[in-house]
């Protein structure tokens, strides 16, 4: 017997269209029960053929990747481990739905639940970051930044971002990226003594070049950014100010780092990394006069239909980020990074800026006379995954580098504690010093490190299924 509650969603009455869908669904369920009782159910083979039956090659690759993740320690700062709930939310029937447009204004029929889902994701994002506008449709970090530039700039305008070697990102004006191809790009760096952003240089570069857009945000900068100081510079040169918080969004959402929302015209972030959601992008703002321009830049300016299955996973991640458990996790992420820094210092390993305020640990390899390319190759053999990275005053190419970038998000999500990160830092330091002294890692050290990694991997398993 039906109750009145079945005709409500989130406590609100259904509209007539949704109500008719539910009525149709209930009829189908009733008919299906009768068919089951008569043992005459016929199911299209399309819905019964599993991956293991259809494509053993792809299934084997997926299983091998799970084994790799399970038996290694992931210290890549741009990666994380999503929860079971986020993983389940991404693998959903919205993969079948094309929902070009925005809630209430779609170009395809059958979008009533897509509308509801996107509204949920938007509301949660706005609540999480305390802002008035959120666009959850960007497919990636690159596309979210491209959309902002499309909304605010014309080809040939001047943009100013952080120098790639000092911690900036490709999409902030690198000449090999569309941001540096379509716009005139100038950059600011860091004080080479402190490794921190030199706001006097930022101001001087801004006054000299009068950029239309200033980008405050990084990909390998371990210190806190002064958003207010960037706002003052932007006001002096009458520039738009974009904050790309992709690496520290989770820390900002939980109050561990200051929020740029009230100081910047637009804020962008990826939804993976410290936000611990699916791979994707997010655009935020409190500037009402920019809302339509930003929306139109995402669609139809840059993208077609949104990936609604990814938006479902984003919505779940935004909800998780509002829980007490998540706040505890972000605090551990920072504590674990600081613990690694102290162990490296104890081993006489140089740290860029001499510390960290977030999840990033940037190692300066110059004094060791070794390269990031060498180190990451040997660490891979020891089942530790990291990435080479340019650092301030780096004389080597981005394919070789004088730096190593480590991040604590993924292993903290896995469950590693402070003492475990200290142990991992010691392992890495031993590898670095042996490469310095011998030009390679000896078989005994490689074997010992592998066994220690496998011990930690076994202690903190990744419980995913293919």
DSSP 371-428: -HHHHHHHHHHTTEE-EEE--TT--S-TTT-SEEEEE-HHHHHHT--HHHHHHHHHHH
The single residue listed with the structure tokens 């009455």 is: 13
Burial of 146 (0-12, 13-18, 19+ CB in 10 A): buried
Model confidence at 28: pLDDT above 80: no
The single residue listed with the structure tokens 């938007």 is: 122
User: 101-102 and 105-106 as β-strands: parallel, antiparallel, unpaired?
Assistant: antiparallel
Give the mean pLDDT of 112-139.
98
167 is in an annotated binding site: no
Contact 404, 361 (CB under 8 A): no
Lowest average pLDDT, out of 178-182, 226-230, 332-336, 408-412, goes to: 178-182
SS3 272: coil
pLDDT at residue 27 in the model: 75
**pLDDT band, very low/low/confident/very high, at 25 (cuts 50, 70, 90):** confident
Q: Which residues contact 188 (CB under 8 A, 6 or more apart)?
A: 160, 161, 162, 163, 166, 197, 198, 201, 202, 205
- The 8 Å CB, 24+ separation contacts for 171-180 are 171/141, 171/142, 171/145, 171/146, 171/244, 172/145, 172/215, 172/217, 172/244, 173/215, 177/142, 178/146, 179/145, 179/146, 179/149
Regarding pTM above 0.85, the answer is: yes
170 is in an annotated binding site: yes
Model confidence at 291: pLDDT above 90: yes
Model confidence at 442: pLDDT above 90: yes
Give the mean pLDDT of 358-369.
97
Q: Exposed e or buried b for every residue in 244-283, given b needs 16+ CB within 10 A? A: bbbbbbbbbbbebbbbbbebbbbbbbbbbbbbbbbbbbbb
Model confidence at 11: pLDDT above 70: no
Closest-CA residue to 243 (of 220, 221, 225):
225
DSSP 136-149: ---SSHHHHHHHHH
Contact 312, 278 (CB under 8 A): no
Q: pLDDT by residue (tens digit) across 57-90?
A: 999 999 999 999 999 999 999 999 999 999 999 9
The DSSP output letter for 134 is E
Model confidence at 357: pLDDT above 60: yes
Closest-CA residue to 247 (of 353, 169, 320):
169
Contact 449, 384 (CB under 8 A): yes
153 is in an annotated binding site: no
**pLDDT band, very low/low/confident/very high, at 305 (cuts 50, 70, 90):** very high
Q: How far apart are CA 92 and CA 89, in angstroms?
A: 6
Q: How far apart are CA 314 and CA 284, in angstroms?
A: 14
pLDDT at residue 1 in the model: 38
The single residue listed with the structure tokens 């739905």 is: 97
Q: How far apart are CA 277 and CA 415, in angstroms?
A: 17
Model confidence at 408: pLDDT above 50: yes
Q: Which residues are catalytic?
A: 98, 100, 244, 270, 273, 279
- The 8 Å CB, 24+ separation contacts for 229-236 are 229/199, 229/202, 230/199, 230/202, 230/263, 230/264, 231/263, 231/264, 233/199, 233/202, 233/203, 233/206, 234/206, 236/203, 236/206, 236/207
| Domains with residue ranges and CATH for the chain | 93-320 (3.40.640.10), 330-459 (3.90.1150.10)
168 is in an annotated binding site: yes
Model confidence at 36: pLDDT above 60: no
Contact 117, 308 (CB under 8 A): yes
Q: How far apart are CA 270 and CA 258, in angstroms?
A: 17
**pLDDT band, very low/low/confident/very high, at 44 (cuts 50, 70, 90):** confident
The DSSP output letter for 356 is -
pLDDT at residue 45 in the model: 85
The single residue listed with the structure tokens 């970090």 is: 141
Give the mean pLDDT of 12-26.
71
User: Mean pLDDT for the chain?
Assistant: 93
């Amino acid at each position: 017997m039906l109750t009145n509650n079945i005709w409500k969603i989130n406590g609100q009455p259904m509209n007539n269209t949704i109500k008719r869908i539910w009525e149709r669904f209930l009829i189908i369920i009733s008919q299906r029960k009768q068919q089951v009782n008569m043992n005459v159910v016929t199911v299209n083979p399309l819905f019964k053929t599993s991956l293991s039956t259809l494509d053993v090659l792809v299934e084997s690759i997926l299983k091998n990747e799970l084994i790799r993740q399970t038996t290694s320690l992931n210290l890549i700062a741009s990666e994380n481990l999503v929860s079971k709930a986020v993983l389940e939310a991404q693998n959903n029937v919205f993969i079948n739905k094309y929902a070009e447009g925005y809630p209430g204004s779609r170009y395809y029929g059958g979008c009533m639940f897509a509308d509801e889902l996107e509204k949920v994701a938007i509301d949660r994002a706005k609540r999480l970051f305390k802002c008035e506008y959120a666009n959850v449709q960007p497919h990636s970090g690159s596309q979210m930044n491209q959309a902002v530039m499309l909304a605010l700039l014309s080809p040939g305008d001047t943009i100013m971002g952080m120098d790639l070697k000092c911690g900036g990102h490709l999409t902030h004006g690198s000449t090999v990226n569309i941001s540096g191809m379509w716009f005139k790009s100038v950059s600011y760096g860091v004080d080479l003594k402190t490794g921190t952003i030199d706001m006097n240089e930022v101001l001087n570069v801004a006054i000299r070049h009068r950029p239309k857009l200033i980008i405050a945000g990084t990909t390998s900068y371990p210190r806190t950014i002064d958003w207010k100081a960037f706002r003052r510079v932007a006001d002096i040169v009458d520039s738009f100010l974009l904050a790309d918080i992709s690496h520290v969004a989770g820390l900002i959402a939980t109050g561990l780092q200051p929020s740029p929302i009230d100081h910047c015209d637009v804020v962008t972030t990826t939804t993976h990394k410290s936000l611990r959601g699916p791979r994707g992008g997010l655009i935020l703002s409190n500037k009402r006069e920019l809302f339509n321009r930003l929306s139109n830049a995402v669609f139809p300016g840059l993208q077609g239909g949104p990936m609604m299955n990814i938006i479902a996973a984003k919505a779940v991640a935004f909800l998780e980020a509002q829980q007490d458990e998540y706040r505890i996790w972000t605090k551990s992420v920072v504590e674990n990074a600081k613990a690694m820094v102290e162990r490296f210092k104890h081993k006489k390993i140089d740290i860029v800026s001499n510390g960290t305020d977030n999840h990033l640990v940037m190692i300066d390899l110059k004094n060791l006379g070794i390269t990031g390319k060498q180190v990451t190759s040997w660490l891979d053999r020891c089942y530790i995954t990291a990435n080479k990275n340019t650092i301030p005053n780096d004389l080597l190419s981005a394919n070789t580098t004088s730096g190593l970038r480590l991040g604590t998000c993924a292993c903290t999500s896995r469950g590693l504690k402070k003492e475990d990160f200290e142990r991992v830092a010691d392992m890495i330091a031993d590898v670095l010093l042996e490469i310095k002294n011998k030009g390679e890692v000896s078989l005994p050290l490689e074997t010992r490190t592998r066994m220690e990694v496998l011990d930690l991997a076994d202690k903190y398993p990744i419980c995913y299924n293919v």
